[in-house]
Amino acid sequence: MHELTQLIKDDMKPALGVTEPGAIAFAVAKAKSYTKGNVIKINVAMNSGMYKNAFTCGIPNSSEVGNVFAAALGYVAGDAKKGLEALENVTEKDNIEARKLVKSGAVTVELSGITSKIFIEAAVITESDTAVVTIEDSHTNITKITVNGKKEMEQKGKKEDDDNELSKEVFDIHKYTLQQLYNYITTVDVKEISFIEEAYKVNLKLYGEGLKNPRTTFARHLLKNNGGKEISKDEQSTASLLCNAAIEARVIGLDKPAMSITGSGAHGIIATMPLYAAYKVNGYTKEQLLRATALSYLVCMYIKEYSGKLSAFCGCAIAAGSGMACALVYLRGGTVDTMAHVLNNMASSITGMICDGGNQGCTMKGIVAVDAAYKAVDFAMDGTYIDDVHGINGKTPEETMKNMGCIASPGMVGTEKTIVEILENKRKINSSRINDVI
């Protein structure tokens, strides 16, 4: 199996709801599994990106939102064996028990630091035991478990003295040029990447839930914009509908998983669903779709490994949107040079879009991402693009992708701090309106 195939395969994971509440619930459920007796205290410390993304995020199988409630549900009903789908089997009875737990003041969360590096430390204290589970680098990567002061397991996370380290570290994906990524996706045996088809099965079910569920609002308007049809002759409108009905379903916590990439369901949706629209509208082959999706994933991963998994910029729009745009060029028969021009157009337009957490605003960001990608591709395919000399564009597409990522980390660390401060201020002022705090 080609190394790039393995990178994609390892990165593709189903995630129920926004990834961060799932990761919080998973961490608490894992810690609980090492304890007995009645709970006294649950505390979850997390990095700013984790804290921000889960702040007002919908939770699967619940009408509640936020990191505190995700932690409470993780304790009451979380299944650690299910990883990011730990809340798959939550019932209304579980929600009632979790509300009681939150109301009692037994569940708290705290900010551990302003950083793009994923960090969760879930502590569960009962009448007889104390268990602490530490997660680093990726949403389910447990690096330490301590029970009653004794280390049950420990492995080293990636060293990160500061956010600057992310831009210095050499990741596997960065060994390749855009030309080499293109060469791979055009020559790899299609059977080797056939597993990617599962992403469409998963994401289309989520889209369907978003379209029919009465809790969504943007989905119905996007359907109206597409002439009332799920698949119309308008490729861009169809792409926006398929993509953003799925994103809305995800961020409000509807009960269907997304196929995540780079640890994010929304990244996985943007990287795939517009391509499915192009496939259906234009009659591309399934093989073309799979090869295009592999390229979309790889470009997304290339940018994200510079920005960090969680940061102050919207990787969904910027990284996944750029990957999807390059894949559209492939489907339209464009060259690698055209893809480089598309990256310049994307870098010069939506780089810097902020991430203020996993919430309904992600739907609007997804709409902007689809619009930007289609415009970037249309211009580039016609030979119109922002020249390398301008702005953050690099001399090569690899430099451009690196610069896009570095804008987030270390570039937007101060922005991340400001976003978290705004959210904290909202929490204090509007505590009665935010279910995250009782």
pLDDT tens-digit readout, 145-162: 999 999 999 997 655 444
**256: burial class by Cβ within 10 Å (0-12, 13-18, 19+)?**
buried
Do 220 and 151 fall into the same domain?
no
Supply 267's token pair.
Answer: 């990244």
- Per-residue pLDDT for 163 more than 60? no
- Per-residue pLDDT for 240 more than 80? yes
Q: Measured at the alpha carbon of residue 18, what is the angle toward residues 417 and 96, in degrees to the nearest 5?
A: 105
Whole-structure pTM value: 0.85
**Any domain includes 432:** no
Do 254 and 391 fall into the same domain?
yes
Q: Are strands 150-154 and 107-113 parallel, antiparallel or unpaired?
A: unpaired
Do 139 and 238 fall into the same domain?
no
pLDDT score of 396: 98
**Any domain includes 424:** no
Do 152 and 296 fall into the same domain?
no
The answer to whether the beta carbons of residues 384 and 305 sit under 8 Å apart is no
- Per-residue pLDDT for 390 more than 70? yes
Mapped onto helix, strand or coil, the DSSP state of residue 394 is coil
Q: Confidence band (pLDDT; 50, 70, 90) for 97?
A: very high
Do 39 and 147 fall into the same domain?
yes
The last residue of a domain, from among 104, 128, 162: 162
The last residue of a domain, from among 127, 142, 162: 162
Number of domains in the chain: 2
Do 293 and 234 fall into the same domain?
yes
As a whole number of angstroms, the distance between CA 390 and CA 394 comes to 9
In this predicted structure, which of 259-268, 318-327, 340-349, 396-405 has the lowest mean pLDDT? 259-268
- Per-residue pLDDT for 2 more than 50? yes
Residue pLDDT, tens place only, 190-220: 999 999 999 999 999 999 999 999 999 999 9
Do 236 and 153 fall into the same domain?
no
In this predicted structure, which of 161-175, 223-237, 267-281, 410-424 has the lowest mean pLDDT? 161-175
**Any domain includes 436:** no
Q: Confidence band (pLDDT; 50, 70, 90) for 398?
A: very high
* CATH number (domain holding residue 97): 3.30.1330
pLDDT score of 158: 58
Q: Number of helices and strands (H, E) in the chain?
A: 18, 8
The answer to whether the beta carbons of residues 282 and 236 sit under 8 Å apart is no
Do 231 and 136 fall into the same domain?
no
As a whole number of angstroms, the distance between CA 323 and CA 317 comes to 10
* Residues of the chain above pLDDT 90, percent: 81
- Per-residue pLDDT for 164 more than 60? no
- Per-residue pLDDT for 165 more than 50? no
Give me the chain's average pLDDT, please.
92
Neighbouring-strand partners of residue 354? 313
The answer to whether the beta carbons of residues 319 and 304 sit under 8 Å apart is yes
- The mean per-residue pLDDT over the stretch 422-432 comes to 73
Do 121 and 83 fall into the same domain?
yes
Q: Confidence band (pLDDT; 50, 70, 90) for 431?
A: low
Structural domain span for residue 125: 16-162
pLDDT score of 60: 86
* Residues of the chain above pLDDT 70, percent: 95
**Any domain includes 215:** yes
Comparison of pLDDT for 264 and 270, the residue scoring more: 270
Q: Which long-range contacts (CB under 8 A, 24 or more apart) does 170-175 make?
A: 171/305, 172/3, 172/7, 173/4, 173/7, 173/298, 173/301, 173/302, 173/305, 174/302, 174/305, 174/398
**CA-CA-CA-CA torsion sign (221, 226, 231, 236):** negative
**Any domain includes 278:** yes
Supply 53's token pair.
Answer: 């993304």
Angle, helices 361-381/321-331, rounded to nearest 10 degrees: 40
Neighbouring-strand partners of residue 14? 259
Angle, helices 321-331/265-282, rounded to nearest 10 degrees: 20
Do 208 and 141 fall into the same domain?
no
pLDDT score of 170: 52
Q: Give 57-114 as a DSSP string.
A: -B-TT-S-BSHHHHHHHHHHH--GGGGGGTTTT--HHHHHHHHHHHHTT-EEEEEEES
Do 202 and 127 fall into the same domain?
no
- The mean per-residue pLDDT over the stretch 295-319 comes to 93
| CB-based contacts of 350, cutoff 8 Å, min separation 6 | 314, 317, 318, 321, 368, 369, 372
* Selection from 224, 117, 125 nearest residue 162 by Cα: 117
The answer to whether the beta carbons of residues 98 and 105 sit under 8 Å apart is no
The last residue of a domain, from among 162, 183, 199: 162
**Any domain includes 341:** yes
As a whole number of angstroms, the distance between CA 234 and CA 228 comes to 12
Position 392: which residue type? I
Q: Confidence band (pLDDT; 50, 70, 90) for 116?
A: confident
The answer to whether the beta carbons of residues 86 and 25 sit under 8 Å apart is yes
Do 90 and 222 fall into the same domain?
no
Please give the radius of gyration of the chain, using alpha carbons only, rounded to the nearest integer: 21
pLDDT score of 253: 87
Residue pLDDT, tens place only, 31-83: 999 999 999 999 999 999 999 989 988 898 898 989 999 999 999 999 999 99
pLDDT score of 162: 43
